[in-house]
Amino acid sequence: MATAYDIATKQANLEKDGRAPVVAVENLQKAFAGHKVLNGISLSVDRGETLAVLGRSGTGKSVLLRLIIGLAKPDSGSIRIQGQDIEGLALDRMGEIRKKMGFLFQQAALYDSLTVAENVAFPLEHHRREMTRSERADRVMQLLAEVGMEGALKKMPSDISGGMQKRVGLARALALEPEILLLDEPTAGLDPISSGEIDDLILKLQHERQMASIVVTHDLHSAKTIANRLALLNEGSVAIEGTFEDLQQSDIAFVTEFLKLS
């Protein structure tokens, strides 16, 4: 398992020759009301790589994603996005970094007053102002076709199922062609067939776009399918990080129990 020092050294060396990890998190700590949720997490993700973050409920997996995209601030530690430390960045400067990131929320978080098409068009309207109306409509259609939702253009989010909402959320997250994709429980609450479809979709997107992805999930089967590496969190720290085979071969009691019960 890589230590914080290893990652910092790797980061410094790679930064010298311009090959820094796309996302590098070092010794991250975060507490809520005195309760430590993250206790010194260090992780990194390279271009074209998918890291699945697993763990029990309440171990800070979603908090980790929120910290990476800047929706919350860490108590200590650093987060570097393409070599840029995001600590203390102003909202507008952080916005420039966020344009390179796509975020799929656990409940999709679609804008409930907008149609499916308007939801996907939303980031384009704000950041691709040079696009004409027809170019934008074409792009929205293309994105929805990519996630298999081209038939739901004019539907409201409340009129489609949870799985469909996640697909639309994914299309919205991809609208600005991000280099980093953060997925918070993409298959939670879905039936096995819908979960499989979402997994296939993520794999296809990874193959086509070569993004750096972090997927937070409880679903070990899904993690095994879509991720190159897995990190298992326990009590705010990384219990183990590696391939699925590394996890299987581990003799850490928590890891064997987690694998056995998943």
| Nearer to other proteins (CB atom), residue 136 or residue 172 | 172
Taking contact as CB under 8 A, which single stretch among the options 80-88, 96-104, 200-208, 215-223 is the one that binds other proteins? Answer: 96-104
Taking contact as CB under 8 A, which single stretch among the options 2-10, 22-30, 118-126, 141-149 is the one that binds other proteins? Answer: 118-126
| Residue 166 makes contact with other proteins by CB under 8 A | no
Number of residues that bind other proteins (CB under 8 A): 27
| Residue 123 makes contact with other proteins by CB under 8 A | yes
CA–CA dist 108, 186 (Å, integer): 9
Q: Which of 20, 52, 61, 103 binds other proteins (CB under 8 A)?
A: 103
Q: Which of 24, 37, 64, 69 binds other proteins (CB under 8 A)?
A: 69
| Residue 161 makes contact with other proteins by CB under 8 A | no
Looking at residues 172 to 201 of the shown chain, list those that interact with other proteins (rule: CB under 8 A).
Answer: 172, 176
| Residue 92 makes contact with other proteins by CB under 8 A | yes
| Residue 126 makes contact with other proteins by CB under 8 A | yes
Q: Which residues bind other proteins (CB under 8 A)?
A: 66, 69-71, 91-92, 94-96, 98-99, 101, 103, 105-107, 109-112, 122-123, 126-127, 129, 172, 176
